[in-house]
Amino acid sequence: MKFFIDTANLAQIREANELGVLDGVTTNPSLMARENIRGEEACRRHYVEICNIVDGDVSAEVIATDFDGMVREGEELAALHPNIVVKLPCTAEGIRAVKYFARKGIRTNCTLVFSVGQALLAAKAGATYVSPFVGRLDDICEDGVELVAHIVRMYRYYGFETQVLAASIRHTQHIVQCMDAGADVATCPLAAIKGLLKHPLTDSGLAQFLADHAKANA
Ligand code: E4P
């Protein structure tokens, strides 16, 4: 299972990268706005900075919602760095653009996916990644993890190569549940990744080891 960090915050990206287990980064327009990055030029510089930190796929989302605009923007984003993956919304225009980029060998992440039908269209169009939004489904009392499992089953059954990228992960338990569901990737906030490390028996066990060592070497 690959780990991506879901942020545009460079400090958090560096911290996750230093752990040595980071495979990529996802961003979206809200995450970019949260870092106060304004204007096309600044956004592009920021994507390049992220690519220079992490040796892995970096999803950069288009703002255009029409096919021609998505194609223009996506081509410009893809030209920034070989690790850029063009992120496109799961709309009719977005699916057309996924197909266009697949034909050109440009990798895509089809985002804002909330149903298995949307995931089917993304895979048929040739998306590299499909992003079901786990947390946002849970927020409206639907089962986000079950959607991930359903997409994984469907892709395996039909032999689609599109990777299931569990997105909108809110906490550590979501990561473990998506792993059990067979997700290829989970894109997570830093706190959720760090949460995987936490166990009270690790802390108390280490404290005991160090205390015993200190006693024996006093
Ligand atoms: C990542 O690709 C998604 O844009 C992101 O995970 C959405 O997360 P949110 O539902 O917490 O905004």
Cα separation, 190 vs 113, in Å, equals 22
**Among protein residues, the one whose CA lies closest to atom 7 of ligand 1:** 168
User: Residues of the chain with pLDDT > 70: what percent?
Assistant: 100
46: confidence class by pLDDT, cuts 50, 70, 90: very high
171: confidence class by pLDDT, cuts 50, 70, 90: very high
Write down the pLDDT at residue 34.
Answer: 97
CB of residue 61 inside a 6 A radius of ligand 1: no
Cα separation, 200 vs 62, in Å, equals 43
Q: How far is the CA of 159 from the centre of ligand 1 (A)?
A: 26
CB of residue 131 inside a 6 A radius of ligand 1: yes
Is there a contact between 182 and 155 (Cβ–Cβ < 8 Å)?
A: no
**Among protein residues, the one whose CA lies closest to atom 11 of ligand 1:** 168
CB of residue 27 inside a 6 A radius of ligand 1: no
Q: pTM above the 0.85 mark?
A: yes
Cα separation, 172 vs 67, in Å, equals 36
- In ligand 1, the atom with minimum distance to the C-alpha of 136 is 10
Q: How far is the CA of 157 from the centre of ligand 1 (A)?
A: 27
Q: How far is the CA of 6 from the centre of ligand 1 (A)?
A: 7
Is there a contact between 69 and 83 (Cβ–Cβ < 8 Å)?
A: no
Mean pLDDT of the chain: 98
38: confidence class by pLDDT, cuts 50, 70, 90: very high
Residues 6+ apart with CB under 8 A from 108: 74, 85, 86, 87, 88, 97, 98, 101, 102, 126, 127, 128, 129
Is there a contact between 109 and 91 (Cβ–Cβ < 8 Å)?
A: no
pLDDT digits (tens, 9 = 90+) for 81-107: 999 999 999 999 999 999 999 999 999
pLDDT digits (tens, 9 = 90+) for 104-126: 999 999 999 999 999 999 999 99
Which residues are known to be catalytic? 87
Write down the pLDDT at residue 155.
Answer: 98
CB of residue 111 inside a 6 A radius of ligand 1: yes
Token digits of residue 192: 């959720």
Write down the pLDDT at residue 41.
Answer: 96
Q: How far is the CA of 20 from the centre of ligand 1 (A)?
A: 23
CB of residue 6 inside a 6 A radius of ligand 1: yes
Cα separation, 205 vs 105, in Å, equals 50
185: confidence class by pLDDT, cuts 50, 70, 90: very high
Write down the pLDDT at residue 200.
Answer: 97
Token digits of residue 127: 């998306």
CA–chain centroid gap for 131, Å, is 7
User: Residues of the chain with pLDDT > 90: what percent?
Assistant: 100
Instruction: Return the C-alpha torsion angle 101, 104, 108, 113, nearest 10.
Output: 40
